Structure 1
Amino acid sequence: MELMAAVDRYTAYLADVRRLSPATVRAYRSDLAGLAAATAGVPLEDIDLEHLRSWLWERAKHGDARSSIARRAAAARGFFGWALEQELLASDPSLRLVAPKRSRPLPKVATTEGVGAALDALARTAQDGDAVALRDHAILELLYATGVRVSELCGLDIDDLDRGRATARVLGKGSKERVVPYGMPAAQALDAYLARGRPTLAARVEGDVRRTDGRALFLGARGRRMSPRAVYDLVTRVIGPVVGSAAVGPHLLRHSAATHLLDGGADLRSVQELLGHASLGTTQIYTHVSSERLAAAYKLAHPRA
């Protein structure tokens, strides 16, 4: 069987049966398409361990990071395991495929004071009633309050908010729903945006064609659902100076929210639930961040450190 034909079936299985996100399915397909190109038309049943090792070795020579090599190996193992289950293969060539261990650099976080100052400055700007300023303030307050992913934020509809309980229902990875709480600053920013900002953005038109997405919570300047790219630009502009880097995005606020929660005494499982992590091990990296911050503060403050 041709490899890419099997890949098509596998990615359909990932999307329709395992219900993985479109972005995850695209990543698997991209990795496996790379394998197909590297094996140059070798039939699926003829691919062996040496083909896989050669593929990863070539990617390493091209400068792929260890994490990328590990991801490609994981994609291959998943695919060939599925192919064996489907009886497309007599044996799984990926069983002895070894990839480098992923290095897990600690995520960058902003200080509570830095985030607070940036949000307070944005709140003052929004007091003039400008629709875009009101929206931007609400977006950053909600990102920091809930730690949601940028895709989850952009996917929010108005009906996903329970303003009485100050919670939002988000659709996360694997189409899993969860309910996240937010605090008073985010609630006030959302109320101001919904009362004075969103109606203005929703009324904007381009030519004679209304472009408003009637359900979307956050709208762009032309009345359409806010895009992740626009949120990235917003975070870079407002939060970048706080950490002294232009290479920041919405995940910085997610990392910061998780770390600040743990610094404040929240238990790990509560943070896991808030972030929507499937594994507690994923959340545990924030305990290392919190510990490093504590150690740094100790060295600075203790007379005998």
Structure 2
Amino acid sequence: MELVERWPVLDRHEMAAVWLQVWVDLGRAARTIDAYGRGLAEYLEMCERLGVDPLTAGRADVAVYVRELTRRPGRLGVNVVSIESGAGLANATIQQRLVPVRLFYDFLMEEGVRQSNPVGRGRYTAGRTFGGGQRGLVPRLTKLPWIPTDEQWLSILDVVRSESARTRVMLALAYDCGLRREELCSLRTDDLDPGHRMVRVRAETTKNRLERVVPYSAVTGALLSGYLAHRATVSRMRGALFLSESRRNHGQALTLWTWSKVVRRIALAAQTPRFSTHTTRHLCLTDLARMGWEIHAIATFAGHRSTESTMRYIHLSGRDLSARLAASMSQLHAWRVAALAALDGTGQ
């Protein structure tokens, strides 16, 4: 009932409501359910507007939906998808919008309602990874994460220097431990081990449900100690580490949205609008790659299930390319020296 109230279009499409309820029953995170529900509702509304039955829709019908997405301005304004367009949602956003549609058709195939998936992720085989030779409707653009230059980072730190003790320690932990936004805001007092300067990142707060324990530096430890003393003036109760100090939510756990607003304000003040709550994680992992950490060690530290995600930071750091360039230059140098040495006596 709650799902139908949030997305009324599901009440008109029984299989869609059943599909979303399956994800709820499987215990998927509330944010995941919200993204799936909104995404599928948007697609179903388009089908109704065009008189298309979603149970029998073909690849051409889904392509119309993709076309609408590529022409729709983003929440913060137009975003260039291609040089020619000058408008439309970003490639990554379009990919996200297609995920619930693709999963819905996977479900219909599993239930025997239809034989193929029009989203084009490849042939479906129950119990196996999706794949195949069929190309997706939208080519996936893989971009390296953005990280600030040294000058931009110093500008950010100049702004943060005048921020509250809570903001300073949150930014320090976010970078030092490579934490995602939800992991950071969900930290509890009993997740800390100050004696060993370690933080436990609980599985239920992570993106892929992998628990990990990560260290933090002595500098961050000093900031954390100062914040804990300040926190005691707000609340002496154990629980959420970072507390709101607003009059309306005083002593309550700091929300993801509040932290996002804080970081956005810092970014604008530092004149680095691309800086976000995830930038500190990107910067941390890139710095680890620059320092020569082995890829599996970085993956463990970051909580990546696969090293494929970690490889982005190896590429971004330029570590492998630099090593290869140095090796090739060394060989080239040796060859030139050998060639010069061969000149000895040849002119006599």
User: 1:54 deviation in Å?
Assistant: 2.0
Partner of 1:156: 187
**Given the alignment of the two structures, is residue 68 of structure 1 paired with residue 93 of structure 2, yes or no?**
yes
Question: What's the CA shift for 1:148?
Answer: 0.6
Which residue of structure 2 lines up, in the alignment, with residue 228 of structure 1? 256
2:214 alignment partner AA = V
Give the distance between the partners of 2:158 and 2:297, measured in 1 at CA. Answer: 27
| 1:55-74 alpha-carbon deviations (Å, 9 max, x no partner) | 22232233233323333333
1:189 is aligned, of 220, 223, 245, to: 223
- State the match for 2:15 in structure 1: 6
* Partners of 1:283 and 1:71 in 2: CA distance: 21
Q: Distance in 2 between matches of 1:66 and 1:239?
A: 24
Tell me the equivalent position of 1:104. 142
Contact 2:63 2:137 in 1 (8 A): no
Whole-angstrom CA distance in 1 between matches of 2:186 and 2:13: 32
Identity rate, percent: 27
CA shift for structure 1 position 42: 4.3
Is the partner of 1:180 in helix, strand or coil? strand
Partner Cα distance (2:218, 2:151) in 1: 17
CA shift for structure 1 position 187: 1.5
1:1-305 correspondence to structure 2 within 5 Å:
4-17=13-26, 19-40=27-48, 42-62=52-72, 63-95=88-120, 98-111=136-149, 115=153, 133-170=164-201, 171-194=205-228, 196-202=229-235, 214-221=238-245, 222-238=250-266, 244-291=271-318
How far does the alpha carbon of each residue in 1:97-148 deviate from its partner, in whole angstroms, 9 at most, with x for none?
732222233222134676478658856x5xxxxxx72222211111110111
Q: Structure 2: 5+ residue runs without aligned partners? A: 1-9, 73-87, 121-133, 326-348
The aligned amino acid for 1:7 is: A
More helix per residue: 1 or 2?
1
Structure 1 residues 25, 279: closer, same or farther in 2, change over 3 A? farther
Whole-angstrom CA distance in 2 between matches of 1:238 and 1:57: 36
Q: In structure 1, how many angstroms separate the alpha carbons of the residues matched to 2:206 and 2:302?
A: 9
Q: Is the 8 A contact 1:219 1:226 kept in 2?
A: yes
Count of residues in correspondence between the two structures: 277
Alpha-carbon distance in 1 for matches of 2:234, 2:255? 14
Whether the aligned pair in 2 keeps the contact of 1:49 and 1:93 (CA below 8 Å) is yes
Give the C-alpha shift of residue 281 in structure 1. 1.6
Q: Would the aligned equivalents of 1:168 and 1:181 in 2 still touch at CA under 8 Å?
A: yes
Q: Is the 8 A contact 2:147 2:283 kept in 1?
A: yes
Distance across 2 between alignment mates of 1:174 and 1:282: 12
Measured in 2, the distance between the counterparts of 1:121 and 1:36 equals: 45
Tell me the secondary structure at the aligned position of residue 221 of structure 2.
helix
DSSP 3-state at the match of 1:168: strand
1:177 is matched by which residue type in structure 2?
E
Counterpart AA for 1:13: V
CA drift at 1:174: 4.1
**Cα separation, partners in 2 of 1:121 and 1:38, compared to 1, 3 Å:** closer
Kindly provide the amino acid, as one letter, of the partner of residue 186 in structure 1: T
**Relative to structure 2, which stretch is displaced further, 110-119 or 66-75?**
110-119
Offset of 1:175 from its aligned partner?
Answer: 3.6
Q: In structure 2, how many angstroms separate the alpha carbons of the residues matched to 1:115 and 1:91?
A: 49
Letter in 1 for 2:164: A
- Give the letter for the 2:317 counterpart: S
Shift of 1:237: 4.3
| Structure 1 residue 265: Cα displacement | 1.4
Deviates more, 1:93-102 or 1:34-43: 93-102
Q: Provide closer, same or farther for how the CA distance between residues 29 and 167 of structure 1 changes in structure 2, counting only shifts above 3 A.
A: same
Structure 1 gap segments, 5+ residues each: 126-131, 204-212, 299-305
Letter in 2 for 1:201: V
Are 1:20 and 1:173, in contact at CA under 8 Å, matched by a contact in 2?
no
Which whole-Å deviations, capped at 9, do the CAs of 1:234-288 have from their partners, x for residues lacking one? 334446566x413422111111111111111112222222222233222211122
**What one-letter code is carried by the residue in structure 2 that aligns with 1:232?**
S
Q: CA deviation at 1:153?
A: 0.8
Structure 1 residues 55, 236: closer, same or farther in 2, change over 3 A? closer
Distance in structure 1 (CA, Å) of the matches to 2:184 and 2:60: 43
Shift of 1:44: 4.2
8 Å CA contact 1:21, 1:173 repeated in 2 = no
Q: Following TM superposition, by how much is the alpha carbon of 1:43 offset from its aligned partner in structure 2, in angstroms? A: 4.1
